[in-house]
């Protein structure tokens, strides 16, 4: 660990300091967990408990008992460890960041950033003269120095603290959480750049790390060039390591150590010349390739140490900086004043931005409080202010107290935002038919092994018509815990393979799913994140799906059918537990849910097994005289009802893909064929008022499809007149060979005259009669079937009792 070299008075106390750090970290982690047992029921983030634990540990006087040498300030003890924690955690944040989702909010985040920073800068410049007596040495070298440092201190935001709290509260998948995190990171980068520019000006004449201001400017430019070269080399180096470990779940231990050492070395380029390395580490994480075993290895290696050890000590160190023996009104008053100034500046800026963006004022006030979190970032400004002789010693302690106050205040606000977002998601309708096809769609999919993974991944690719704007897609893989080699092995349990590099390593089911995910990620440009979970029965799996649904907050949840296609075309049930899982999830699904009956052995035409860019089906060759881009023909079956309308909305999203040709197939009774042409009309009543005839939702769905797709030649429309359920069955079976995918509604709310008598085909209630007829067809010409259900339950809580499987109707 690199320690602070500027004006350090620590000599030959490395062992004492290391023992102190280890002891305090252990006590803070244990005490923080104990305090959080009482606070987590109020939805407060663990950072609040860890800061309180740090205050308690700091008051024990362990520092004076262990380190028997005079230390200038607490920064000398904790500064190096805090800076290293920020480098690795911001690299982890950048690697975990959903770049596409953040890019979709770039306009709002930019407006909030500029508004909050501008108001804080103006407010700090206005009040800097009044802060002269309490915050500066006398005589002061230049009043401009005070104004500049005060502006940076009030405008800054602790991006590490905000990112950690938002991630822990599962807000990074919500629009509000993404906006706050993006604004915090942008604000922190602006202030870091401002601090670096200010330290290189002639006003800042103090030599930092034995470099004068002009020398630091040149070295800073040189470090930026080094970082640029490292980022350019990142892609080919990671690609080379991925090729070396092709077919493996993770890379070797020595490769992992070299990669983490490179991250540490590159992130410290700016810090060696006195600048902050946080933006560099964040850039490394954002530029790091997400596919392949390298990214999985680094994520797995960093996740537990950061969340369990590094971050608790990071927040605890904030409380341990507090010196109770020096507390007085001369410290508390400036601390409260600085906190109030930050709140006023941030809230004023966010409310102005919210008024422009038409966001509720209450949300803007909450955002302002969250963006006022200071954390450890003010310690950076403290070093500069102390070296330049701007602030008195009591002002440094006031900054510590103000940072803790702003961070603790943010805890309850995060809890309010969490409850608000949770209620909004659970109470909203979450229907695809209410969304435009171009609107952002978050997706969560489940797979049970490598057999059904290609079909599910191919469907996800078709649903994401714009890969650059598609948020990260999460794929839950339920591996068989009863098999010895099914689960991914952790580093401390894994024995290095002694086989040759060219030997077959794709033995584990998880690794085979990794292989499929990597192929689709490289071919499509989508970001797919695989989550490995043990298959421990329908009840435990349903809880896993619920937990990840709350984390991801998807617009659609995709599940595999419990039957798999045999090579002769028949559908075979492998495990009955999978059927029970589908029933449990469908009964409490908080969003649109769909079950995919994959048929990979389709004999004619395209099957959903390969990315569209590398598909080599004969169907694509047969369409060369028409549209050469069309390789997949999809049908949307429509009888009526909310589930069928949801199926049509999902099919319309698929039609946005250039490689898809959609056909809308509607079933109507022969005597009612002409009646379906009705439209909404207006007629004056006796009093001269105009009365509006409300159109049937099914008719409105058909009319909208005609207007947006058929009239613009983006899809085809076919109407099948039937006299009863047997005609429906014959028409459905006649689709074999024509379509690679058939999308249908689950049913249960369809017109009775079309489905009465089909109960005999309803062997599996989770797909309904129409889905069962299509999915159970033994023909090798029948394509895959996607059965869609619109949201039916108002909530999806973890504490709800497990529902029993629905009886077959």
* Mean pLDDT rounded to a whole number for the chain: 78
Q: How confident is the model at residue 797 (pLDDT cuts 50, 70, 90)?
A: very low
Query: Is 587 within 8 Å of 803 (Cβ atoms)?
Result: yes
What per-residue confidence (pLDDT) applies to 447?
A: 92
Q: How confident is the model at residue 767 (pLDDT cuts 50, 70, 90)?
A: confident
Q: Which of 22-36, 484-498, 762-776 has the highest mean pLDDT?
A: 22-36
Smallest CA-to-CA distance from 97 within 108, 87, 89 is with: 89
Determine the Cα angle at 446 with ends 444 and 449, to 5°. 150
How far, CA to CA in Å, does 224 sit from each of 210, 282, 563? 20, 14, 56
Give dist(CA 257, CA 267) in Å, integer: 15
What per-residue confidence (pLDDT) applies to 475?
A: 92
Q: How confident is the model at residue 762 (pLDDT cuts 50, 70, 90)?
A: low
Name the phi and psi angles at 564, rounded to 5. -120, 150
Burial profile 701-736: b = 16 or more Cβ within 10 angstroms, e = fewer = bbbebeeebeeeeebebeebebeebebbbebbeebb
Give dist(CA 248, CA 672) in Å, integer: 59
- Residue 496 pLDDT more than 50? no
Mean local confidence (pLDDT), 261-282: 85
Radius of gyration of the chain (CA): 30
Q: How confident is the model at residue 798 (pLDDT cuts 50, 70, 90)?
A: very low
What per-residue confidence (pLDDT) applies to 731?
A: 86
Give dist(CA 270, CA 228) in Å, integer: 12
Task: Give me the residue label for tokens 């599940």.
Answer: 559
**What is the bridge-based pairing of β-strands 741-745 and 784-789?**
parallel
Domain 5-222+309-427, what architecture? Answer: Up-down Bundle (1.20)
What per-residue confidence (pLDDT) applies to 365?
A: 93
Smallest CA-to-CA distance from 607 within 809, 800, 454 is with: 454
SS3 call for 259? helix
What per-residue confidence (pLDDT) applies to 366?
A: 92
SS3 call for 360? coil
N-to-C CA span, the chain: 66
Q: How confident is the model at residue 223 (pLDDT cuts 50, 70, 90)?
A: confident
- Residue 518 pLDDT more than 90? no
Q: Do domains 5-222+309-427 and 432-483+504-614+631-670+698-789 have the same CATH topology?
A: no
- Residue 754 pLDDT more than 80? no
Handedness of CA 130, 135, 140, 145 (dihedral sign): negative
What per-residue confidence (pLDDT) applies to 77?
A: 62
What per-residue confidence (pLDDT) applies to 491?
A: 42
Q: Percentage of the chain surpassing pLDDT 90?
A: 19
What per-residue confidence (pLDDT) applies to 514?
A: 84
Q: Give the other-Cβ count within 10 Å of 182's Cβ.
A: 24
- Please indicate whether residue 284 or residue 385 has the higher confidence score (pLDDT): 284
Helices (H), 173-277: 175-199, 213-244, 253-267
Smallest CA-to-CA distance from 432 within 750, 709, 790, 710 is with: 790
Taking the domains of the chain in order of start, what are their residue ranges?
5-222+309-427, 432-483+504-614+631-670+698-789
- Residue 738 pLDDT more than 80? yes
Mean local confidence (pLDDT), 520-528: 86
- Please indicate whether residue 498 or residue 443 has the higher confidence score (pLDDT): 443
Give dist(CA 410, CA 162) in Å, integer: 9
- Residue 615 pLDDT more than 90? no
Smallest CA-to-CA distance from 94 within 284, 262, 273 is with: 284
**What is the bridge-based pairing of β-strands 690-692 and 715-722?**
unpaired
pTM of the model: 0.83
pLDDT (tens digit, 9 = 90+) per residue, 363-373?
999 999 999 99
Q: How far is CA 194 from the centre of its chain?
A: 29
Range in 190-204, 411-425, 590-604 with the lowest mean pLDDT: 190-204
- Residue 37 pLDDT more than 60? yes
- Residue 790 pLDDT more than 80? yes
Give dist(CA 398, CA 331) in Å, integer: 5
What per-residue confidence (pLDDT) applies to 683?
A: 40
pLDDT (tens digit, 9 = 90+) per residue, 657-716?
888 889 999 988 776 554 544 443 334 444 444 444 446 788 888 898 989 889 888 889
Q: How confident is the model at residue 384 (pLDDT cuts 50, 70, 90)?
A: low
- Residue 575 pLDDT more than 50? yes
Residues 6+ apart with CB under 8 A from 567: 601
- Residue 381 pLDDT more than 70? no
Q: Which fold has domain 432-483+504-614+631-670+698-789?
A: Rossmann fold (3.40.50)
What per-residue confidence (pLDDT) applies to 76?
A: 54
Burial category of 497 from C-beta neighbours within 10 Å (exposed 0-12, middle 13-18, buried 19 and up): exposed
Q: How confident is the model at residue 108 (pLDDT cuts 50, 70, 90)?
A: very high
């Amino acid at each position: 660990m690199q320690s602070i070299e500027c004006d350090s008075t620590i000599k030959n106390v490395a062992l004492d300091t290391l023992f102190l750090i280890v002891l305090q970290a252990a006590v803070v982690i244990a005490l923080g967990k104990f305090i959080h047992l009482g606070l987590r029921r109020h939805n407060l983030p663990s950072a609040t408990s860890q800061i309180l634990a740090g205050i308690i540990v700091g008051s024990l006087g362990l520092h004076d008992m262990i380190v028997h040498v005079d230390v200038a300030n607490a920064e000398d003890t904790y500064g190096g460890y805090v800076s290293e924690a920020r480098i690795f955690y911001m690299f982890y944040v950048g690697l975990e960041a959903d770049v596409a989702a953040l890019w979709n909010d770039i306009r709002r985040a930019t407006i909030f950033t500029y508004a909050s920073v501008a108001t804080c800068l103006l407010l700090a410049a206005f009040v800097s003269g009044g802060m002269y007596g309490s915050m500066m040495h006398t005589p002061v070298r230049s009043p401009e120095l005070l104004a500049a440092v005060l502006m940076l201190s009030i405008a800054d935001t602790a991006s590490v603290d905000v990112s950690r709290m938002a991630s822990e509260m599962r807000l990074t998948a919500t629009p509000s959480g993404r906006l706050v995190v993006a604004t915090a990171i942008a604000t922190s980068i602006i202030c870091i750049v401002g601090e670096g520019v200010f330290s290189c000006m002639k006003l800042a004449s103090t030599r930092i790390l034995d470099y004068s201001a002009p020398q630091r400017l040149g070295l800073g430019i040189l470090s930026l060039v080094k970082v640029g070269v490292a980022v350019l080399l990142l892609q080919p180096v990671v690609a080379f390591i991925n090729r070396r470990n092709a077919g493996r779940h993770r890379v070797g231990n020595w490769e992992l150590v070299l990669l983490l050492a490179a991250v540490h070395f590159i992130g410290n380029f700016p810090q060696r010349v006195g600048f902050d390395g946080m933006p560099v580490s964040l850039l490394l994480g954002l530029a790091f390739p997400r596919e392949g075993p390298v990214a999985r290895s680094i994520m797995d290696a960093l996740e537990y140490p950061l969340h369990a050890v590094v971050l608790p000590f990071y927040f605890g160190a904030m409380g341990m900086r507090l010196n109770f023996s020096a507390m007085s009104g001369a410290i508390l008053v400036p601390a409260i004043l600085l906190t109030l100034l930050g709140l006023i500046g941030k809230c004023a800026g966010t409310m102005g931005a919210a008024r422009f963006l038409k966001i509720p004022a209450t949300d803007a006030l909450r955002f302002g409080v969250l963006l006022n979190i200071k954390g450890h970032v003010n310690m950076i400004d403290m070093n500069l202010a102390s070296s330049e002789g701007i602030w008195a010693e009591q002002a440094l302690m006031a900054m510590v107290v103000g940072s803790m106050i702003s961070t603790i205040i943010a805890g309850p606000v995060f809890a309010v935002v969490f409850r608000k977002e949770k209620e909004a998601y659970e109470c909203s309708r979450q229907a695809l038919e209410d969304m435009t096809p171009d609107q952002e769609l978050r997706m969560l999919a489940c797979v049970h092994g490598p057999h059904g993974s290609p079909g599910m991944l191919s469907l996800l690719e078709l649903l994401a018509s714009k890969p650059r704007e598609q948020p990260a897609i999460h794929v839950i893989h339920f591996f068989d815990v009863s098999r010895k080699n099914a689960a991914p092995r952790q580093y401390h349990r894994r024995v290095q393979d002694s086989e040759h590099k060219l030997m077959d390593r794709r033995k584990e089911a998880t690794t085979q799913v990794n292989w499929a995910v990597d192929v689709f990620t490289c071919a499509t440009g989508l970001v797919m994140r695989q989550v490995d979970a043990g298959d421990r029965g329908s009840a435990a799996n349903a809880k896993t799906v619920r937990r990840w649904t709350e984390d991801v907050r998807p617009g659609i949840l995709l599940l595999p059918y419990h039957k798999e296609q045999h090579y002769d075309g028949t559908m075979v049930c492998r495990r009955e537990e999978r059927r029970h899982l589908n029933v449990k999830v469908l009964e409490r699904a908080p969003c649109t849910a769909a079950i995919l009956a994959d048929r990979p052995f389709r004999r004619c035409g395209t099957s959903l097994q390969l990315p569209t860019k590398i598909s080599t089906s004969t169907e694509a060759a047969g369409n060369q005289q028409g549209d050469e881009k069309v390789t997949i023909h999809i049908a949307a079956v429509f009888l009526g009802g909310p589930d069928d309308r949801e199926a049509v909305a999902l099919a319309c999203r698929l039609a946005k893909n250039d490689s898809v040709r959609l056909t809308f197939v509607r079933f109507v009774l022969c005597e009612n064929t002409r009646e379906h042409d009705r439209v909404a009309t207006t007629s004056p009543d006796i009093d001269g008022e105009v009365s509006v005839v409300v159109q049937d939702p099914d008719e409105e769905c058909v009319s909208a499809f005609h207007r947006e797709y058929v009239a613009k030649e983006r899809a085809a429309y076919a109407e099948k007149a039937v006299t009863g359920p047997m005609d429906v069955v014959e028409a459905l079976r006649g689709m074999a060979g024509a379509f690679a995918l058939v999308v249908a509604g689950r049913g249960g709310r369809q017109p009775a005259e079309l489905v009465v008598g089909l109960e005999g085909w309803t062997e599996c209630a989770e797909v309904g009669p129409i889905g069962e007829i299509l999915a159970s067809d033994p023909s090798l010409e029948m394509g895959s079937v996607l059965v869609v259900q619109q949201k039916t339950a108002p909530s999806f809580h973890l504490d709800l009792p497990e529902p029993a499987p629905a009886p077959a109707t």
